Structure 1
Amino acid sequence: MKSFAVVSFLAFASYVAAQANGGPPFDPSGAKNVGNGAGAQFIGGQCLSAADCGSGCCAGPSGICSGLGAQTQAGKTGCGFGGGAAAAPPAAAAPPPAAAPAPAAAGTNAAGGPPFDPAGVPNVGNGAGKQFIGGQCLAAADCGSGCCAGPSGICSGVGAQTQAGKTGCGFVAGGAPAAAPAPAAAAPPAAAPPAAAPPAAVAGTNAAGGPPFDPAGVPNVGNGAGKQFIGGQCLAAADCGSGCCAGPSGICSGVGAQTQAGKTGCGFVSKRFISRSRRSLL
């Protein structure tokens, strides 16, 4: 109990001091993952060393978990924050490729497009639909979004399938099973969930502006359970895991990116959410 209190105090002291060093602002919803070395911190959350980060990269100058391809962007100074002790965890993250021959055989994004998020290695090629956006895929069946985009095979939101060098959904790796194209063809029925989720369908689209919603987040719209991921639609902050529902159309955003790509900042609340709240008080 005493050691936990010491770690919490050090994490808090580091959070206050580190912001002054520069780099992007920390996402405050990741405060619980700082300094525990459990590898549970998401990209954008504060870290004391690489052992905190799911991506295996704790970037300077202030200590923020970063995707490997973005470690020197937005004022970051590269992985390795936290000293020599932080170098060991990335090496420990390397064994998964050896335990998953199929992903290793798929290679890297040598054909072009965005870099793969290394945290997604366990989801490559298993066809279970568990790969998140930014992770490598061999076919659409790997991706939760139903879109495996070329030219190298990376899971993408349907609305962003041609951005950042991507060449659109439909990628199928040469080493993928012959049956892999079938799931890709079956991806269109993914449009059916809106019909099965009236609140999300009623909430509409991003007609007011801002980035397109990731359709994979439809089940999380308007339930107030805090399960919506960044890029998914929201009716209020209660839907978002990051705690930020950004205008002008209502999209979950990292706090540090709340005014980027046409977003107008956290605090969006839809009229439907307000109406529903009033009815619950009657």
Structure 2
Amino acid sequence: MKSFAIVSLLALASYVSAQANGGPPFDPAGVPNVGNGAGKQFIGGQCLSAADCGSGCCAGPSGICSGVGAQTQAGKTGCGFVSGSASTSPAAPAAAAPAAAAPAAAAPASLPPNVGGPPFDPAGVPNVGNGAGKQFIGGQCLSAADCGSGCCAGPSGICSGVGAQTQAGKTGCGFVSGSSSLNNAGAAPAAAQPAAAPATAASTTTPPPNVGGPPFDPAGVPNVGNGAGKQFIGGQCLSAADCGSGCCAGPSGICSGVGAQTQAGKTGCGFVG
């Protein structure tokens, strides 16, 4: 308990001092996730290294978790930020580089190649095919079970935001490695389907209806109201505790990126159902 309090105080002090260095403002709701290396920090929260971020990208100049495609927007200077490193202290980033390079080098020998769509982020190689739901947007996937967003998009299998599933050459969610119109000996797709059945039952009995804002993604029904922080952006939520992004936006309760909390009819984070 004492060590947790010390870590929290250090994270708060770092939050105040780092913000002056530049880039977008940190979301203060993310302070508990700073520096613990648990990969739970949402986009917009402060980070001390990529190990803090669910997206796998801790962007400079101040250290903020970012989507990989947005790493140089709004004053950010790209992924790879490590707290305490600078041009006068290159030891920390240099030490981190070999860890990222080793799995990337092994990828061509064991994983299917990219045959279209955006390039895979090599930092995501450890999350490919384990079905743990830890792969970030931009990382390779063999099925939706790999992706934190719940969307493995074709044609090559890349984790995608549901709203971006047909952008940049992607062909939509539902990719399963080894399946095609000519090869649907679909043990894997068939195994995935039963997960949708409880979703249908739950959606008609428990979650409240949508009364405004974007439509809910029905694939997120199993994550509604359990407070596990596993709901992806676009899925229904009863409070911020459901959302991986930490933002449950009104008027109906939908998990949202913090920067998009007032777009498409949403009324901002803070919804409680």
User: Shared fold by TM > 0.5?
Assistant: yes
- SS of the residue corresponding to residue 106 of structure 1 reads coil
Whether 1:124 and 2:131 are equivalent positions in the alignment is no
Q: Which residue of 2 aligns with 1:245?
A: 248
Distance 1:195 1:99, change over 3 A: same
The share of aligned pairs that are identical, in percent, is 78
Native 8 Å contact 1:226 1:238 kept in 2? yes
Native 8 Å contact 1:50 1:86 kept in 2? no
Residue 265 of structure 1 deviates from its aligned partner by: 0.6
Q: Which residue of 2 aligns with 1:184?
A: 189
Whole-Å separation in 2 of the counterparts to 1:142 and 1:51: 18
In the alignment, structure 2 segments of 5+ residues that lack a partner are none
Aligned counterpart for 1:218 among listed residues 218, 221, 226: 221
Residue 51 of structure 1 deviates from its aligned partner by: 5.0
Amino acid at match of 2:239: A
Amino acid at match of 1:194: A
- SS of the residue corresponding to residue 111 of structure 2 reads helix
Q: Which residue of 1 aligns with 2:170?
A: 166
Native 8 Å contact 1:131 1:142 kept in 2? yes
Distance 1:117 1:26, change over 3 A: farther
Of the structure 1 ranges 80-89 and 70-79, higher mean CA displacement relative to structure 2 is found in: 80-89
Native 8 Å contact 1:130 1:142 kept in 2? yes
Aligned counterpart for 1:209 among listed residues 199, 210, 213: 213
Native 8 Å contact 2:240 2:270 kept in 1? yes
Aligned counterpart for 2:199 among listed residues 194, 197, 218: 194
Amino acid at match of 2:248: C
Query: For residues 196-254 of structure 1, what are the alpha-carbon distances to aligned partners after superposition, in whole Å with 9 as ceiling and x for unaligned?
Result: 4257764235x6223x4343421221345555344321133453355432023311224
In the alignment, structure 1 segments of 5+ residues that lack a partner are 274-282
- SS of the residue corresponding to residue 138 of structure 1 reads coil
Whole-Å separation in 2 of the counterparts to 1:242 and 1:146: 14
Whether 1:111 and 2:103 are equivalent positions in the alignment is no
Whole-Å separation in 2 of the counterparts to 1:48 and 1:73: 19
Distance 1:232 1:267, change over 3 A: same
Q: Which residue of 2 aligns with 1:86?
A: 93
Query: For residues 141-191 of structure 1, what are the alpha-carbon distances to aligned partners after superposition, in whole Å with 9 as ceiling and x for unaligned?
Result: 655777532233223466653245422235455699x67744336655544
Q: Across the two proteins, how many residue pairs are aligned to each other?
A: 263
Aligned counterpart for 1:257 among listed residues 245, 257, 260: 260
Of the structure 1 ranges 35-44 and 248-257, higher mean CA displacement relative to structure 2 is found in: 35-44
Whole-Å separation in 1 of the counterparts to 2:58 and 2:217: 27
TM-score normalised over the length of structure 2: 0.72
Query: For residues 71-96 of structure 1, what are the alpha-carbon distances to aligned partners after superposition, in whole Å with 9 as ceiling and x for unaligned?
Result: 21232111343322134324323333
Native 8 Å contact 2:223 2:230 kept in 1? yes
Whether 1:96 and 2:103 are equivalent positions in the alignment is yes
The correspondence of residues 16-55 of structure 1 with structure 2, limited to 5 A, is 16-37=16-37, 41-53=41-53
Query: For residues 5-61 of structure 1, what are the alpha-carbon distances to aligned partners after superposition, in whole Å with 9 as ceiling and x for unaligned?
Result: 665444212212333443233233432232345655444321234454455532112
Aligned counterpart for 2:235 among listed residues 213, 232, 235: 232
Native 8 Å contact 1:248 1:263 kept in 2? yes
Native 8 Å contact 1:49 1:86 kept in 2? no
Native 8 Å contact 1:145 1:214 kept in 2? no
Whole-Å separation in 1 of the counterparts to 2:159 and 2:213: 24
Of the structure 1 ranges 190-199 and 63-72, higher mean CA displacement relative to structure 2 is found in: 190-199
Distance 1:25 1:218, change over 3 A: farther
